[in-house]
């Protein structure tokens, strides 16, 4: 199993409607993707969006990432976001604490056109879990 954790901060409320719509489309895509095993979405204060996606293999995760709605929106993130980081690793669960620690340990920083100081300093806040604003994602039923 492979987990991917991402943290994206939308730089302006101007981009929120399009970002949220594309998040919905990508969420709809991932729950139907071959090899998807589960995931979570968390919306933090300050326009920060966390995702945790667990797939059966790196191949399955790459197939999802490189197709459909997800592939179409990725080029827009450089303009829409002022912070963007992600990490991949072996999955040992789907808890936010572990996802945050994985991101701190293994983060890769995506290019953004207008980086926020935290992006340039390569730091980010922990996800705020009380109250948790988010959703658990489950496979659409293709797998037992």
How many Å is the maximal CA-CA distance in the chain?
45
**Segment 8-42, tens digit of pLDDT:** 999 999 999 999 999 999 999 999 999 999 998 99
Per-residue model confidence (pLDDT) at position 126: 85
H-helix segments, 67-129: 68-73, 77-80, 96-106, 117-121
Per-residue model confidence (pLDDT) at position 130: 64
Q: How big is the chain, counted in residues? A: 144
Contact yes or no for 129/96 (Cβ under 8 A): yes
Instruction: Report the distance separating Cα 61 and Cα 33, nearest Å.
Output: 9
For 14-59, what is the HEC assignment?
A: HHHHHHHHHHHHHHHHHHHCCCEEEEEEEEECCCEEEEEEEECCHH
**Segment 37-92, tens digit of pLDDT:** 999 899 888 899 999 999 999 999 999 999 999 999 999 999 999 999 999 987 65
H/E run at residue 60:
helix 58-65
Contact yes or no for 64/142 (Cβ under 8 A): no
- The CATH code of the domain at 2-137 is 3.30.70.100
Read off the pTM: 0.88
Contact yes or no for 69/26 (Cβ under 8 A): yes
Domain ranges within the chain, ordered by starting residue? 2-137
Sheet holding 48-55, edge to edge: 108-109, 81-90, 2-10, 48-55, 36-44, 134-137
């Amino acid at each position: 199993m492979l987990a991917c954790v991402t943290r994206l901060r939308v730089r302006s409320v101007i981009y929120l409607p399009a970002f949220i719509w594309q998040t919905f489309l990508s969420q709809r895509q991932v729950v139907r993707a071959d090899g998807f095993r589960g995931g979570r979405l968390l919306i933090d204060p300050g326009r920060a969006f966390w995702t945790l996606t667990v797939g059966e293999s790196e191949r399955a995760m790459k197939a999802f990432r490189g197709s459909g709605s997800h592939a179409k929106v990725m080029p827009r993130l450089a303009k829409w976001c002022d912070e963007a980081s992600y990490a991949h690793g072996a999955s040992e669960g789907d808890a936010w604490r572990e996802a945050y620690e994985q991101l701190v340990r293994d983060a890769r920083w995506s290019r953004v056109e207008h980086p926020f100081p935290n992006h340039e300093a390569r730091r980010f806040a922990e996800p705020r879990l009380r109250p948790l604003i988010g959703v658990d994602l489950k496979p659409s039923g293709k797998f037992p």
